[in-house]
Structure 1
Amino acid sequence: MPDVGDTVTASLTVDPFDGTTAAALSVTAPNGTVTAPATSTADGGKTWTAPLTYTAAGVWRLLWTVTGTGAGVEPELVSVAPLPTVATEGVSYATTTDLANYLQAAPPLNAAKLLARATELLDSDFLKAAVYAVDGDGMPTDAEVVKAFADAVCAQVEFWGEVGEETDISGPLQGVTIGSVSLQYGAGDNRSGPDYYAPKLIRALQSLPADKLRWVAYTGGC
């Protein structure tokens, strides 16, 4: 699969062919722009080529039109990937370096996305019942809390790597036992167990003393 920015040589082989064979290429970009790269042949009409640069990620449509001997059309769809990025893909309590050190191994290439998703999970499913010191951006300021939150999201990413990443849980978080607070998951028949979450995530939160992370009553919901 090509990446955005790749320059390739589009190619078409015509059979049968002779001196009357000619081939033209029409290229439709993902945004609908149509171009017609110059085509050429070096073997009398059997093989036709054209230079092509993929300037955007998405699905490109290539349409070869052959006239003369071998006349016909040859459509082709090409999926072009965006360039990989190392930019942070959302707010996260841990960096990819934190994750590499936690795993003691190279992190996955989508580590930034997974850490951001684990942070969202931690915020929405656990920290609604928590009180802790934050800065103007809502990020923890106490060193112990910073470390515990980083360990928690790294643990969740490690867990996803072992059991597979889920996109949602089967019910809203009514709670989890952390310290003296006992909460429940889901409601009624939709109740789900805490095995969706990494056990190490819960232990990381439980490791914090009450003066660093205080838990309040929380009945669930969004």
Structure 2
Amino acid sequence: MPDVGDVVTAQLLVAPYDATTTATLAVTAPDGTVSTPVTSTVDSGQTWTAPLTYTAAGVWLLRWTVTGTGASVEIEQVSVAPTPGAGLTGRSYATTTQLANQLQAAPPLDAVRQLADASKSLDDALLTAVYDTDSAGMPTDPDVQAAFAEAVCAIVDWWDETGDELGADGDWQSVSAGPVSMSRGSNSISAQPVANGYLPPRAASALRRLPSEKLRLGVVATPW
């Protein structure tokens, strides 16, 4: 799979072919822009090539049109990966170095995205929590910064252990509503309630170790 910025040579083999064979290429970028790179052949019409640069992530459409002998239309879709970390929004409370140190292992290649997503999960859990922040909403107390980094790394580690990054969860055997009724798998290790959300046990513990004057969580429900 190519990445953004890759320069490639698009290629088409034509059969049958002869001196009347001509091939042109129309390239549709993910945003709908169409370009027509110059095509050429070095073997009298059997092999056609064109230079192509993938300038954006997404699905590219390559449409070859062959006229003359071997006339046909060939369509190829190419999925292009983004530059790692590109397109991520929001803040992250931990770095990939902190994650590697906490895991005592090499972090996953998409660690930047996972840390950003885990930071959003932490924000959801601490929606009504009170702590000192700067103008960007980042904690200013070193102890809170360290606890948030530990918690976020614990969330990523939890996702790796459970395979439930999306929260679809195998933790609940049944769920119903009106009135609410939930049952938990007897062998599962459940996330724990903290303030307004649920966090993995180690993430919750990192926050609970902070003194109340640095992080006020409000009423913390008793873990089940």
Is TM-score (shorter-chain normalized) higher than 0.5? Answer: yes
1:198 to 185, 197, 200: 200
2:58 match: 58
Unmatched 5+ stretches in structure 2: 170-178, 185-189, 193-197
2:173 match: none
Post-superposition Cα deviations, 1:46-83, rounded to whole Å, max 9, x if no partner, equal 11111112222222211111112111111111112222
Greater CA deviation, 159-168 or 78-87?
Answer: 78-87
- How does 1:19-168 map onto structure 2 within 5 Å? 19-85=19-85, 89-125=89-125, 127-128=126-127, 130-168=129-167
Post-superposition Cα deviations, 1:140-177, rounded to whole Å, max 9, x if no partner, equal 2332222222111111111111111432478xxxxxxx
Paired residue total: 202
Change (3 A) 1:169 1:189: farther
1:212 match: 214
Change (3 A) 1:92 1:38: closer
Contact 1:90–1:113 under 8 Å retained in 2: no
Change (3 A) 1:9 1:154: same
Using the size of structure 1 for normalisation, the TM-score is: 0.78
1:10 Cα offset (Å):
1.0
1:188 to 180, 185, 209: 180
The CA RMSD measured in Å over matched residues stands at: 2.6
Q: d(CA) in 1 for partners of 2:69 and 2:86?
A: 50
Contact 2:84–2:110 under 8 Å retained in 1: no
Contact 1:129–1:218 under 8 Å retained in 2: no
1:12 match: 12
1:99 Cα offset (Å):
1.1
SS of 2:205's partner is helix
Percent identity (aligned) = 58
Post-superposition Cα deviations, 1:178-206, rounded to whole Å, max 9, x if no partner, equal xxxxxxxxx82257753673221122122
Q: d(CA) in 2 for partners of 1:72 and 1:86?
A: 38
SS of 2:207's partner is helix
SS of 1:131's partner is coil
From the two aligned structures, give the one with the greater helix fraction: 1
